[in-house]
Amino acid sequence: MALTAITNARVFDGEKTLGVRTVVIDGARIARVGGDAPPDSEIVDGGGATLLPGLIDAHVHSAPGSLALALRFGVTTELEMQGMNTRENRGLITDDDTVADVRSAGFAITPPGGHPSELMPEGFRPKWDLPPVMPLMPFSTTPEEAAAFVPQLLARGSDFIKFMIDDGSVEGHPGLPSLDEATVNAGVAEAKKYGALTVAHALTVEATRMAAEAGIDGVAHVFMDQPHADEIIGLIKDAGMFVIPCISLNASMMGITGSALADDPRVAARLDSKWDRTLRSSYNRYPQGKLDDVYDTVRALDTAGIDVLAGTDVSMPETFFGGLAHGASLHHELQYLVAAGLTPSRALRAATAATARRFRLSDRGRIAEGLRADLLLVDGDPTENISDTLNTRAIWRRGTRLAE
pLDDT per residue over 362-391, tens digit each? 999 999 999 999 999 999 999 999 999 999
- pLDDT for the residue numbered 150: 98
Cα–Cα–Cα angle for 357, 325, 58, nearest 5°? 10
Q: Average the pLDDT over 1-24 and give the result.
A: 95
Q: Average the pLDDT over 302-315 and give the result.
A: 98
pLDDT of residue 1 exceeding 70: no
- pLDDT for the residue numbered 172: 86
Mean pLDDT of the chain, nearest integer: 96
Residue 273's alpha-carbon distances to 279, 317, 324, in angstroms, are 10, 10, 13
pLDDT of residue 124 exceeding 80: no
Q: Average the pLDDT over 304-324 and give the result.
A: 97
Where are the alpha helices (H) located in 304-390, listed in sequence order?
Answer: 328-340, 344-350, 353-358
- pLDDT for the residue numbered 211: 98
pLDDT per residue over 30-52, tens digit each? 999 999 999 999 999 999 999 99
What percent of the chain has pLDDT above 70?
Answer: 99
Instruction: Band the pLDDT of 129: cuts 50, 70, 90.
Output: confident
- pLDDT for the residue numbered 342: 98
Helix 205-214 crosses helix 230-238 at what angle (to 10 degrees)?
A: 30
Strand 198-202 versus strand 161-165 pairing type: parallel
- pLDDT for the residue numbered 121: 77
Q: Given strand 242-243, what is the order of strands in its sheet?
A: 161-165, 198-202, 218-219, 242-243
pLDDT per residue over 69-82, tens digit each? 999 999 999 999 99
pTM summary value: 0.97
- pLDDT for the residue numbered 75: 99
Instruction: Band the pLDDT of 125: cuts 50, 70, 90.
Output: confident
Minimal CA–CA distance to 100: which of 144, 154, 149, 62?
62
140 C-beta neighbours (distance < 10 Å), count: 25
**What is the rounded CA–CA span in Å between residue 382 and residue 347?**
10
pLDDT per residue over 235-278, tens digit each? 999 999 999 999 999 999 999 999 999 999 999 999 999 999 99
Instruction: Band the pLDDT of 122: cuts 50, 70, 90.
Output: confident
CB 190 within 8 A of CB 145: no
- pLDDT for the residue numbered 130: 72
Our separate counts of H helices and E strands in the chain read 14, 16
pLDDT of residue 186 exceeding 70: yes
